[in-house]
Amino acid sequence: MEFGNSCLNKLVSEVEREIDPVMTTLDDISMHNQKRVLRVFRECKVSDYHFKGSTGYGYNDQGREVLDSVYASIFGAEAALVRGQIASGTHAIALCLFGILRPGDRLLSVSGAPYDTLQKVIGMTGEIKGSLLDWGIKYEQVELLSNADLDWTNIDRALENPVKMVMLQRSRGYSLRKSIDVNNINKLVRRVKKIQPEAIVFVDNCYGEFVEKIEPPMVGADLIAGSLIKNPGGGLAPSGGYVAGRQDLVDLVSYRLTAPGVGAEIGAVMGWQRMFYQGLFMAPSIVVQALKGAIFVSRLFEKLGFDVSPRYDEVRTDIVQAIKLGSKEGLIAFCQAVQASSPVDSYVVPVPGEMPGYSDQVIMAAGTFIQGGSLELTADGPLRPPYVAYFQGGLTYEHVKISALRAAEKVMKAGGVK
Ligand SMILES: *Cc1c(COP(=O)(O)O)cnc(C)c1O
């Protein structure tokens, strides 16, 4: 196939026609979530003096307290902790684990191995010092079934022994499995509470916020955590993380973040507060821009002959799109094209390199305003078969489309249609 401009134009109109019904359902989701967010902002009487910020201890910072309430209400939780002092998603999740689990407790992951960075937190890989294992916390995991569904039989079996916390990762993260929707989280909550009413259901909510109309606490999850440089920061939050859930659990997490006794009562917010509020307000719409972009790229590359996951019309509960490029050259060309189409550092050419914690070389494209901000358009993948590019984010659909088209051209040039 000659891959010229007219050929690509024809393909784009076909793709846009085919994805149109899916796009409409996404408009419905962003409308629903925007209304929900706006309602909470009004109920909590968000005002411009909440954006002023504080210094020192940050005692009586109204902006911080109201933002916690806003997050709690939006996610359907009793309480929340939203802080710039939480350095990343991994930090937010680690706070939950260390804040709640005690020596001798058992932690059970029901979605297989957790996200790479959490394996070190748990003590599954690398240095044990400082990990949960070092603190005498036992860990066990139930693998997902081969179709990536939850393995109910083995979950039931694992729940025969006392478990303090059941953990689930909503997003696929950087694996080829599909994401787990809130409906299945609901089913898990029912199951766990029936067998062990005291067990805490904790969800790693990274990349999942505002992708569906409901969030895990609304179906009974006890605690969730995520990163502000992903979905809920709306592309504006310069750093930070959040935790939301039951009041007693959020209190325990706050004691771990600061200290017992002071908990959520201290923590200066400097000058970031307006961006936290404004980013959250914009998040439902931005997340859908990213989703629309992912659906476009999914259908485009599928039509070009590549395996993609999820397919354009599959149900999504995170913003990650995987594209199996099938060759090293294809993966490199893809990531370089995404970088070249970025608003920041477009002139930089990414090359594969070693990354701590990864056994293969990795290539990453991230021309973002916020370092590592992955609600902005980024692409990356490990250099091993089947050479999968993970593509996520995008503050505007137009940007994702421009980037995807450039990537398609470059991949075709590098390897041709398979
Ligand atoms: C990003 C992510 C994390 C970790 O977040 P960082 O901010 O990179 O530390 C954890 N779990 C999932 C599913 C993620 O996508």
Residue with the smallest CA separation from ligand 1 atom 12 is 206
Residue with the smallest CA separation from ligand 1 atom 14 is 206
Q: Is 88 in the pocket of ligand 1 (CB under 6 A)?
A: yes
Q: Is 179 in the pocket of ligand 1 (CB under 6 A)?
A: no
Residue with the smallest CA separation from ligand 1 atom 8 is 89
pLDDT-derived band at 177, boundaries 50, 70, 90: confident
* Residue 206 half-sphere exposure toward CB, CA atoms < 13 A: 24
Res. 323: pLDDT tops 80: yes
Res. 122: pLDDT tops 60: yes
By most ligand atoms within 8 Å of CB, the mutation choice from 86, 227, 321 for ligand 1 is 227
Q: Please report the pLDDT score of residue 355 as a whole number.
A: 80
Res. 2: pLDDT tops 60: no
The Cα 281–Cα 397 span in angstroms is: 18
Q: Compute the average pLDDT of residues 25-34.
A: 98
Determine if residue 173 is left, alpha or beta; phi over 0 gives left, psi from -120 to 50 gives alpha, anything else beta: left
CB 392 within 8 Å of CB 364:
no
Q: Please report the pLDDT score of residue 1 as a whole number.
A: 45
What tokens were used for 337?
A: 């094209």
pLDDT tens-place string over residues 91-110:
999 999 999 999 999 999 99
Distances in whole angstroms, Cα of residue 5 to Cα of each of 69, 297, 330:
51, 17, 19
Q: Tell me if residue 309 falls in helix, strand or coil.
A: strand
Q: Is 206 in the pocket of ligand 1 (CB under 6 A)?
A: yes
H/E element holding 89? helix 89-100
Q: Compute the average pLDDT of residues 278-301.
A: 98
Task: Locate the DSSP E strands across 155-208.
Answer: 165-169, 200-204
The Cα 312–Cα 23 span in angstroms is: 10
Percent with pLDDT over 70 in the chain? 98
Q: Ligand 1 centroid vs 409 CA: distance in angstroms? A: 30
pLDDT tens-place string over residues 143-176:
999 998 999 999 999 999 999 999 999 999 878 8
Q: Ligand 1 centroid vs 115 CA: distance in angstroms? A: 7
pLDDT tens-place string over residues 48-102:
999 999 999 999 999 999 999 999 999 999 999 999 999 999 999 999 999 999 9
pLDDT tens-place string over residues 366-378:
999 999 999 999 9
**pTM for the complete prediction?**
0.95
> Of 37-41, 125-129, 224-228, 333-337, where does mean pLDDT reach its minimum?
125-129
End-to-end Cα separation, the chain, in angstroms: 10
Q: Is 95 in the pocket of ligand 1 (CB under 6 A)?
A: no
Residue corresponding to tokens 């000058």: 271
Nearest-atom number in ligand 1 for the CA of 374 is 1
The Cα 283–Cα 271 span in angstroms is: 20
| Residue among 31, 200, 34, 27 at smallest CA distance from 110 | 200
Q: Please report the pLDDT score of residue 157 as a whole number.
A: 97
Q: Ligand 1 centroid vs 414 CA: distance in angstroms? A: 31
The Cα 210–Cα 232 span in angstroms is: 8
Cα angle 234, 207, 382; round to 5: 120
Q: Compute the average pLDDT of residues 345-370.
A: 90
The Cα 360–Cα 116 span in angstroms is: 13
Nearest-atom number in ligand 1 for the CA of 227 is 7
Q: Please report the pLDDT score of residue 186 as a whole number.
A: 98
Q: Compute the average pLDDT of residues 195-203.
A: 98
By most ligand atoms within 8 Å of CB, the mutation choice from 204, 228, 370, 375 for ligand 1 is 204
Percent with pLDDT over 90 in the chain? 91
What tokens were used for 385?
A: 């078969």
Distances in whole angstroms, Cα of residue 39 to Cα of each of 28, 61, 246:
17, 22, 22
Cα angle 236, 240, 244; round to 5: 110
> Of 125-129, 155-159, 240-244, 340-344, where does mean pLDDT reach its minimum?
125-129
